[in-house]
Amino acid sequence: MEWGMKNRLSQLIQKDGRAMFLPIDHGYFQGPTSNLEEPGKTIEPIWPYADAIMLTRGVLRAAIDPAITKPIILRVSGGATMARRDELDNEGITTSVTEAIRLNASAVSMSVYVGSEREHQTLMSLGNLVNECEDYGIPTMAVTSVGTELGKRDARYLALASRIAAEIGARVVKTYYCEEGFEKLVRGCPVPIVIAGGPKVDSEFEVFKWIYDALEKGAIGVNLGRNIWQHEHPVAMAKAVRAVIHENATPKEAQDVFDAVKSGKAD
Ligand code: R5P
């Protein structure tokens, strides 16, 4: 592996082999998502706890201080919106690799829709993006998207989508956690896996449990958005999630971190 690729990957994946990515790219198809109407404000108190931030070039330019020292994962796919939910898989590449270099991105990311009508289109886009990014030592993170079909998040489907993305050349795969068969999914994917959270759930303890279990079964971390920044206590969530990822905190210990920060007993 070339020095540039190694250098960028080591900005994303920390020395302990773990990673906490903070995505705020949701507006690329959802528009002004709840709690992300002003992404700069949303992210300000929580970005220090993340290892990298994932977002589009529009939000990066408009809302992120260029003096920020966090690595950027630039979302470069899009072209579909919630206004046509049946067309969510109709994505292409919206942002060039030249732009990613100009913006000093440490990685790029794009969605693939395995099993959908546009499966071929999105997988070919991934191949083309990887071809170009590898020339410049930029890692590609593939996002295994399910659109509105959240029920697709079972091990069999996610293992298929993750393996395909890795085979095409993604350096990191973002997928979902599933209780049954997650270890098989990880075993079948030759590159590191991070998990997304999906829509916000009611109990933070549940989030800590997913993450803990996913790490135990071989994931390297998270690309977790809504369950942090849509939470009433985003800083407490960010710190607790960080504790699970980088301090091997159990769900119970993470809950203690969360409660202590929430109640003001800890910073
Ligand atoms: C989807 O809109 C994006 O790719 C997100 O980055 C991804 O789903 C992770 O965010 P969340 O944890 O909110 O699902």
Residue 239 located in a structural domain: no
Residue 7 located in a structural domain: yes
Residue 245 located in a structural domain: no
- Among residues 194, 237, 220, which one has the least CA distance to residue 42? 237
Distances (CA, A) of 23 to 59, 216, 253, 264: 12, 23, 24, 26
Residue 250 located in a structural domain: no
pLDDT at 200 exceeding the cut of 80 = yes
197's tokens: 């959270």
The active-site residue, picked from 174, 209, 239, 262, is 174
184 labelled catalytic: no
Measured between alpha carbons, how far apart are the two ends of the chain, in Å? 40
pLDDT at 265 exceeding the cut of 80 = yes
* CB of 171 shorter than 6 A to ligand 1: no
Label residue 264 exposed, middle or buried (CB < 10 Å: 0-12, 13-18, 19+). exposed
The CATH number linked to 22 is 3.20.20.70
- Determine the average pLDDT of the residues in 215-220: 98
pLDDT at 253 exceeding the cut of 80 = yes
Residue 256 located in a structural domain: no
- Determine the average pLDDT of the residues in 150-173: 92
Q: Which of 21, 22, 25 most suits a substitution to test ligand 1, by most atoms within 8 Å of the C-beta?
A: 25
pLDDT the model gives residue 198: 86
Strand-strand pairing, 140-144 and 92-93: unpaired
Domain count, the chain: 1
* CB of 146 shorter than 6 A to ligand 1: no
- Determine the average pLDDT of the residues in 239-267: 96
Residue 40 located in a structural domain: yes
CA distance 111 to 37: 22
Residue 77 located in a structural domain: yes
* CB of 255 shorter than 6 A to ligand 1: no
- Determine the average pLDDT of the residues in 39-60: 97
pLDDT the model gives residue 124: 98
Question: Average model confidence (pLDDT) for the chain?
Answer: 96
Strand-strand pairing, 92-93 and 77-78: antiparallel
The helix/strand count (H/E) of the chain reads as 12, 10
Q: Which stretches within 149-225 are classed as H helix? A: 155-168, 182-187, 204-216
- Domain range holding 212? 3-230
CA of 256 to the centre of ligand 1 (A): 26
